[in-house]
Amino acid sequence: MSVLSALKKLISHRHPLRLKWHRAKAWLAAWKYGYPAKKLSVIGITGTDGKTTTVAMVAHILEHAGIRCGALSTAFVKVDGTMEWNATQKTSPSPFIIQSFLKRLQESGCTHAVLEVSSHGLVQGRLNYTWPRIAGITNTTPEHLDYHGTMEQYRRDKGLLFRLLDGTGAKILNRDDDSYVPYLSIPTASTVTYSRSTQADLWLTDEQVNAQSVHASLHIAGESATVDLELMIPGDFNLENALCAIGCARAAGVDLHACLAALKTFPGVAGRFESIDEGQPFAVYVDFTVTPAAYEKTLTTLRQMIVPGKRILVLTGSCGDRMREKRPKVGRICSTLADVVVVTNEDPYTEDPERIIEEVWAGVDRSKCDAYKIFDRREAMRFLLRKAQAGDAVIFCAKGSDTTMWTEKGQIPWNEREITRELLRTMKAGMH
């Protein structure tokens, strides 16, 4: 074990010495790259769920409006239209990576940067010296409480993004979320609110959902007429992401109708409720669902999308070294909202993967579904695909677009999207 690793184990995450070290690194990184954020309009997006998709939506709208931009998210890095995977798989990586990315944008001639922002990154000052001009939030539900301690502290830590606006700029708030009132009191030059259930600056009525798209009527505060909001991707939760994205893009100067036209062509994000179609007679999705709230939203949406009488088959689990208390909750939600549940291995890190599976399994109500424990994730995926019938929906949760799995021995290659395609092709070949 290195000296640095030993110190990390000895000094708590929020110890002043450790936080000063992180913030010093942020200053050094910004200085090394010449404070590139000073020459960019930075938009920060935080929240528990939906951040990656919202970042992608904002970048798509800006590009559609002719604004040269880049985006840094958990899943991808985008520079002036060129996309690559985020090899770190971290939402807010090292400040040296963030500042290097901003420098790339500056040198590429971009004027705007869209950053996905984590609560860890905010507490540790990794976003210092990025000087965002616009900050938006998707939602806040319990997550990372092993780090933040309480839900109240988690929300305070998320709120640090709005404090980085330093009393200027625009904040985009979700009026439906419990964070709305405390964030509203943080001083900024302007505030834009959005909602799916009540009047706000941007709010929705007449939501319609099908297997390929979502539609709604969008109301604008102060205007009598409504406009159509249409997304050609599934999942009603994406309407919430779209509202946040519209708020951010309008604050950046993009016309509302340009926002709506861009969103109609938004292709979605790989590994985020992504449909995998190899000609099979049932639907298959790969998703990044990890929180109890996200499981509830995703499975409820999936139920709306399938024909009555057809089944939802879900692959679930939980990652190691964090938030053990959510594991039985995930098991309970899956068994309540799905018809077939398989609990399997998922990024165990340094924990015993079999213990993690048992803790998720403890919440599974086997009187409400057919439930199975299958340790090997690939075998679990194969099992569900073979069990699916015409018209059913299969969803593999948690890995999304990740290209590795974290184990006690470090990272091993794992591309759930490609494995899914491989398994489906093998099944199809075996039928001929």
pLDDT digits (tens, 9 = 90+) for 273-310: 999 999 999 999 999 999 999 999 999 999 999 999 99
Same domain, 218 and 336: no
Q: What is the pLDDT of residue 142?
A: 81
Q: Please tell me the least confidently modeled range out of 130-134, 170-174, 193-197, 318-322.
A: 318-322
Q: Higher pLDDT residue, 197 or 370?
A: 370
Total count of residues recorded for the chain: 432
Same domain, 24 and 151: yes
**158 part of a folded domain:** yes
pLDDT above 70 (res 8):
no
Pairing of strands 202-209, 190-195: parallel
pLDDT class of 118 with cuts at 50, 70, 90:
very high
Give long-range contacts, CB 8 A cutoff, 24+ apart: 217-223: 218/246, 218/260, 220/256
Average pLDDT, the chain: 94
Same domain, 241 and 335: no
Q: Please tell me the least confidently modeled range out of 146-150, 201-205, 346-350.
A: 146-150
Candidates 73, 74, 72; CA nearest to 105 is 72
What sign results for the dihedral spanned by CA atoms 55, 302, 231, 200?
negative
CA atoms within 13 A on the CB side of 301: 26
Same domain, 330 and 420: yes
Q: Higher pLDDT residue, 16 or 233?
A: 233
**415 part of a folded domain:** yes
pLDDT tens, position by position, 86-109: 877 777 889 999 999 999 999 999
Q: What is the pLDDT of residue 145?
A: 75
**5 part of a folded domain:** no
Pairing of strands 274-275, 227-231: unpaired
Same domain, 157 and 133: yes
**297 part of a folded domain:** yes
pLDDT class of 7 with cuts at 50, 70, 90:
low
Mean pLDDT within 220-235: 94
What is 333-392 written as a DSSP string?
Answer: HHHHH-SEEEE-----TTS-HHHHHHHHHTT--TTSSEEEE-SSHHHHHHHHHHH--TT-
Mean pLDDT within 221-239: 94
End-to-end CA distance of the chain: 54
pLDDT tens, position by position, 235-282: 999 999 999 999 999 999 999 999 999 999 999 999 999 999 999 999
Q: What is the pLDDT of residue 92?
A: 81
pLDDT tens, position by position, 32-80: 999 999 999 999 999 999 999 999 999 999 999 999 999 999 999 999 9
Candidates 71, 140, 154; CA nearest to 293 is 140
Q: How many helices (H) and strands (E) does the chain have?
A: 16, 19
Calpha distance 3→101 (Å, rounded) = 29
pLDDT class of 398 with cuts at 50, 70, 90:
very high
pLDDT above 80 (res 14):
no
Q: How many domains does the chain have?
A: 2
Calpha distance 161→163 (Å, rounded) = 5
Same domain, 171 and 75: yes
pLDDT class of 9 with cuts at 50, 70, 90:
low
pLDDT tens, position by position, 318-349: 999 888 999 999 999 999 999 999 999 999 99
Q: What is the pLDDT of residue 261?
A: 98
CA 144 from centre of chain: 14
End position of a domain, from candidates 205, 233, 264: 264
Calpha distance 426→432 (Å, rounded) = 10
**1 part of a folded domain:** no
List all residues 6 or more positions away from 219 whose beta carbon is below 8 Å from its beta carbon.
Answer: 199, 202, 203, 204, 205, 226
Name the residue type at position 419: I
Q: Write the CATH number for 175.
A: 3.40.1190.10
**4 part of a folded domain:** no
pLDDT above 80 (res 15):
no
Question: By three-state DSSP, how is residue 315 classified?
Answer: strand
Candidates 359, 322, 350; CA nearest to 148 is 322
Question: By three-state DSSP, how is residue 17 classified?
Answer: helix
**3 part of a folded domain:** no
Same domain, 289 and 199: no
What sign results for the dihedral spanned by CA atoms 141, 134, 21, 100?
positive
> E strands within 51-180?
69-72, 76-79, 82-85, 112-116, 134-137, 170-174
Pairing of strands 410-413, 214-220: unpaired
pLDDT above 60 (res 111):
yes
Calpha distance 270→281 (Å, rounded) = 22
**If residue 208 lies in a helix (H) or strand (E), which one and from where to where?**
strand 202-209
Same domain, 232 and 319: no
Contact 64, 265 (CB under 8 A): yes
Candidates 287, 260, 294, 256; CA nearest to 271 is 287
Contact 43, 112 (CB under 8 A): yes
Calpha distance 315→356 (Å, rounded) = 14
pLDDT above 90 (res 359):
yes
Q: How far is CA 66 from CA 108, 112, 401, in A?
A: 15, 11, 28
Neighbours of 97 (CB within 10 A): 18
* Residue 126, domain extent: 10-264
Calpha distance 215→306 (Å, rounded) = 17
Same domain, 245 and 334: no
Percent of the chain whose pLDDT exceeds 90: 84
On the 0-12 / 13-18 / 19+ scale of CB atoms within 10 A, 277 is exposed
Q: Write the CATH number for 293.
A: 3.90.190.20
Mean pLDDT within 402-424: 94
**96 part of a folded domain:** yes
